[in-house]
Chains A and B, each alone.
Chain A
């Protein structure tokens, strides 16, 4: 049996995610009131119009992606299987993705989110030093040139402090000022 299966990729899921956000936005826009009152546009008119045009454009993008996925799918072989074959042929795991994010990107997001929490809690110096060191390890590898990474961490943290606090007079949070 010649079964043609296809796999949806980021080209479909990204506009689909935006469509969900747009729908929430549209519902909230309707809560602002009717789009027209006494022949004049109200605060909800423009958002409603924008959201409706956006939904049409997103539907077109999703349809385009669906058509593309179906056209490129191979018979008797799912895209997942095809991808598995490709991955087994390639020794690198760098292309592996989770919810469309590479492990490196997930690492940067996680570290940055942690930095934002630590920035307020333990102040600029400790939070930044830790953040920079971990980013250096993420971008440059864990085992390579560790002493130079520690020196770079100290230099970047101090340079950031001098730039913002001393040169541009920005009051940064510190552990001793909490």
Chain B
């Protein structure tokens, strides 16, 4: 009962004009960043991170949630109109949305995408509110050996979910772990890898790593090309779009069916809970399942609203699922929740099993923000701004990237009022640039950096308690459970690889 009133209190908190303003502002920023090819909602949240030093934690979390939801949905705009997904999670939407655009039904495709996102996002947020407290109760049962095995499970799943580049995923994760070991040891008061300098004794802050990996590296990648605008408007037919064109016909919504929406939402939510999976995998799995169970699978890849609904419903529902492991176990499964974890840590908060009960008043507005963003802001934004979407996202690159550079670098300065943090952001930016060029996942770098210290701490504590006997990881039931789970995932994701055959566009890579 306390949980319910606490969760409802989250909605009341959104009535505060300042909090509401940050939610709407965050949503608009997320829509913009999600829609512009090359920019992502992760970058938007990364740029927001330095500002959380001055913001109230609740307000910052509310803004993060609305950016996350908006970014996941708005990738469908350019995916549909110019066949370039604004975000990786919209790749499956492009397969169906762009053929619809070519038939002159682009507005309707965006309407289906928004409806799917609205339903999926709302269900995902509701499931988060229901499941997170239960997961927190389960998390209380996990002891130190189990915590080590759980983090190891998360890291291994993150690595093996990098389809086709497991070695690169492993290298990126280990690099993140190595960077995290710089500074004071997690157990003993010993300074490590400072190389005789005092600036490294306190370790590497999360902020320059995030700003470097997601903002500076993006600047460097964009500097490779010489296009004048982010989106070339000449690629889009200049057909006039009316607002009512965005409303999908009821007959098509009925054909898609409530069950498909629900199933896609549950798939997206479940995939979201898995570490490293993210919106792309949620959309892919849901799309594949929708195609498998469809009465007309032959229509897929030719502009079928069913495919758009399945993909968008799942990737927005994923947003809710992604918060569960972060809030209950302190284990972020994707970059967005890793940055949200950073927001909490900056404010002296550490998520874990008791976090949901002790700090519900702080996170309940974030849940409410996810729900309201999905249910109200997604359709409202499409209706009000839909006709102008492409003009908005076709901003001049010189203005856009110089603005991002200033916010990113000055933002890095905020943490310690020192240009050392800015220099670190540049160093990590160059590193991430090379990683991205060579197809090493920067997500793994960040998650290795975030989870590495806990992995080491729990490993050493466990062995200290068991007098150095490593068999304790196999004799402790909770630890054994996660080791078995890791083996199951390894079997299904590496040994028996999922097959992509039959999905349109997958054959081409």
- State yes or no: do A and B come from one complex: yes
Mark out the residues of chain A between 95 and 147 whose CB falls within 8 Å of any chain B CB in the assembled complex: 100-102, 104-105, 107-109, 112-113, 115-116, 119-120, 124, 128, 131-132, 135-141, 144
Q: Report if B409 contacts A (CB, 8 A).
A: yes
A side interface size, CB within 8 A: 71
Q: Does A82 contact B (CB under 8 A)?
A: no
Q: Would you call A47 and B192 a contact (CB within 8 A)?
A: yes
| A-chain residues with CB within 8 Å of residue B414 when the two chains form the complex | 164, 168, 170
Residues in A neighbouring B270, C-beta threshold 8 A? none
B508 within 8 A of A: no
Q: How many residues of B contact A (CB 8 A)?
A: 64
Please, which residue of chain A has its CB at the minimum distance from the CB of B168?
Answer: A61
Q: In the bound complex, how far is the Cα of B396 from the Cα of A116, in angstroms?
A: 25
Q: A131 to B419, Cβ gap below 8 A?
A: no
B437–A170 touching, CB < 8 Å: no
Tell me, yes or no, whether A18 is within 8 Å of chain B by CB. yes
Contact of B406 (CB < 8 Å), options: A11, A108, A132, A169: A132
Q: Report how far A78 CA is from B463 CA in the complex, Å.
A: 54
* Residue from B193, B396, B399, B419 within 8 A of A120 (CB atoms): B419
**Segment with Cβ contacts to A, from B33-41, B136-144, B217-225, B492-500:** B217-225
Q: Does B401 contact A (CB under 8 A)?
A: yes
Additional A-B contact list (11), CB under 8 Å, known A42-B188, A43-B190, A105-B433:
A36-B468, A45-B460, A61-B168, A107-B223, A109-B430, A116-B422, A128-B410, A135-B405, A157-B406, A170-B53, A172-B413
- Residues on A close to B: CB < 8 A? 10-11, 14-15, 18, 22, 25, 28-29, 32, 36, 39-47, 50-51, 53-54, 57-58, 60-61, 64, 94, 100-102, 104-105, 107-109, 112-113, 115-116, 119-120, 124, 128, 131-132, 135-141, 144, 149, 152-153, 156-157, 159-160, 163-164, 167-172
A-B contact pairs, 24 of them (CB 8 A): A14-B434, A14-B440, A15-B171, A32-B192, A40-B460, A40-B463, A47-B178, A50-B174, A57-B167, A104-B226, A105-B433, A108-B220, A109-B426, A119-B409, A128-B410, A131-B405, A140-B228, A157-B406, A168-B51, A169-B54, A170-B54, A170-B413, A172-B410, A172-B413
